[in-house]
Structure 1
């Protein structure tokens, strides 16, 4: 009888965990999407009018971020660094601690437990991919 309870407990505990070997990384955001590019949005901010955020992702796993606290601080924060992908290949973790879920044309900022932020402003924790920025512009031909 005691062995039966141990078996049941192991089955219950094991059912909630995904086997790492079964994660399909061939269809992940990392391998199937054009994730490189510039993303922009305004995140909610309890002590300002919003955090205007521009995030550029480039190969190999590099980022540049610019944030401005709207309505309070005219001095933007500018930083850069590296990021890593989680095991699923759908989430990136910036070396400064921010966590984003990657989609084809936008990113969602996640909480520290890798979950979407909930509440009335949930949809505002998103930065959308924008065209044309972040691309190098060639200098005009000198004549």
Structure 2
């Protein structure tokens, strides 16, 4: 009788031991899933796109036909910005600025450092979206006119 009880006790301990291992594996799998979902994507426009080049577009103008904008972004984080006011009361006026630009913390937007303050652009695949003074994408009927397209690769 003692042998049966002893055999039963060993079997019970073995079964309990196996069940505990299964629980540990389940917990381990759940922890792995949580870690995988916490991995942050480190890709950004700054480090994933071929952003250097020349971008062009004609942006709206309150007192002229439009502003032809040509922006050259260089690998050394310098820029050349040319803005030509088309069909204004004094004819065509061209303003040219050069300087440096900086990326935001997320690597998605740039700010041109100019004497007049600065322009902000969201950097995308072969295009730049001009942003408003608060750094927001311009919306509305004319939103497409605030996009500069890359012309030289």
User: Which TM-score band applies after superposition, normalised by the shorter structure?
Assistant: 0.7 to 0.9
- Runs of 4+ more than 2 Å apart: none
Greater RCO structure (CA 8 Å; 6+ sep): 1
- TM-score scaled by structure 2? 0.68
- The yes-or-no answer on 1:62 pairing with 2:78 is yes
Pairing of 1:15-94 with structure 2 (within 5 A) = 24=41, 26-72=42-88, 73-94=91-112
Q: Where is the helix percentage greater, Structure 1 or Structure 2? A: 2
Unaligned ranges ≥5, structure 1? 1-21, 133-143
Number of matched residues? Answer: 110
Q: Which protein is bigger by CA-based radius of gyration?
A: 2
1:104-129 Cα deviation digits (max 9, x unpaired): 11000001211111121011101000
Q: CA deviation at 1:131?
A: 2.5
Over the residues paired in the alignment, what is the CA RMSD in angstroms?
1.5
CA offset digits 1:12-47 (Å, max 9, x no partner): xxxxxxxxxx975x3000000000000000001111
- Report which stretch shifted further, 45-54 or 110-119: 110-119
1:120 to 141, 146, 153: 141
